Amino acid sequence: MDFSKIEETREENQNPEENLVFHYNRAERLKRAPKIVQDYYSGNFKPYKGGLLKSLVSTRGNRLLFVTIVFAFGIILFVRYFGPEKRSGTLNKVDVSLSAFSYEESVYASVKFNDAGKKIKSSFKDGVPVYATFTAYDKEGATLIEEKVAGKYEGNEIFLRTTFSDYDIINVGAVCGMGEGLLSLESPVEKR
């Protein structure tokens, strides 16, 4: 093939970038374009007027995705409102709970070890050392104060209490120990 007769540049321009010749034909390009593009350029394009819900359930895949999202959202709400609380738990078959409230310029926190059941009360008759390490947090989650309180559990209900004098505390955590077991609890500070 002889390419010598094809003009690819214009010699009269000094700038080499302006010497290139481009061959562009919109009609030729639109012949090979998809129908939606051809309709758009001819003015026959009709935009889809469906709403958000219609587009979410228009195809089988979209319906499946929509149902999955709704189901996951429902599970999250159920667990959030009906799931286990961080304020209470079980340690060596004894129910333990944490509560914290603010009054005037102090925050009062207490860990309650409930009565042991009749079946296991005899295992605590000699007394088991218990402790709670209270940690106070501010609104950024930074630790403000940490305090450890100890006691002796003999199967009856006992409280381990402490007081913080910082009013910026919004959350209190407690790591409770009884014998070899550990339990981590967390409670927001209630305003009273």
**Full pLDDT tens readout for the chain, 192 residues:** 566 666 555 556 566 666 666 667 788 888 888 988 888 888 888 776 777 888 888 899 999 999 999 999 999 998 878 876 688 888 888 899 999 999 888 899 999 999 887 888 888 888 889 999 999 998 888 898 899 999 998 888 999 999 998 778 889 999 999 888 899 999 988 887
Final residue belonging to a domain, choices 53, 81, 109: 81
Q: What is the pTM of this model?
A: 0.56
**pLDDT of the residue at 18:** 63
Give the total number of structural domains in the chain. 2
Candidates 144, 143, 177, 145; CA nearest to 160 is: 177
Mark out the alpha helices in 43-188 (DSSP H runs).
52-56, 60-82
DSSP state of 46: -
Q: Are 148 and 177 in contact (CB under 8 A)?
A: no
Same domain (yes/no): 68, 95: no
Specify if 2 maps to a domain.
no
Dig out the tokens for 122 from the structure. Answer: 């005899």
Same domain (yes/no): 118, 179: yes
Which amino acid makes up residue 178?
M
**pLDDT of the residue at 135:** 94
Q: Are 155 and 125 in contact (CB under 8 A)?
A: yes
Same domain (yes/no): 118, 24: no
Same domain (yes/no): 187, 92: yes
User: Which domain, by its residues, includes 165?
Assistant: 88-191
Burial class (CB in 10 A: 0-12, 13-18, 19+), 121: middle
Final residue belonging to a domain, choices 57, 81, 105: 81
Candidates 175, 183, 169; CA nearest to 101 is: 169
**pLDDT of the residue at 2:** 67
Specify if 9 maps to a domain.
no
Specify if 164 maps to a domain.
yes
Residue-level length of the chain: 192
Same domain (yes/no): 101, 172: yes
**pLDDT of the residue at 52:** 80
Candidates 130, 182, 124; CA nearest to 156 is: 124
